[in-house]
Amino acid sequence: MSDINWVRNTVPKSDCAKSLALMDTDTIKNIRKFHKSFPQYDETPLVSLNRLADEHNVGGIYIKDESYRFGLNSFKALGCTFALAGYIAQKLGIPVWELDYKSLPKAASKLGEFTFFAATDGNHGRAVAWAARELGQKAVIFMNKGCPQVRLEHIRAEGAEASISD
Q: Which of 18, 121, 138, 145 is catalytic?
A: 121
Would residue 76 show up in a list of annotated catalytic residues for this protein? Answer: yes
Residues 6+ apart with CB under 8 A from 26: none
Sheet holding 161-165, edge to edge: 115-120, 138-144, 161-165
24 is catalytic: no
Catalytic-role residue among 29, 76, 100, 145: 76
Question: Which ranges of 123-165 does DSSP label H, i.e. alpha helix?
Answer: 123-134, 149-157
DSSP state of 121: S
Is the Cβ–Cβ distance between 62 and 46 less than 8 Å? yes
The residues that are catalytic are 76, 121
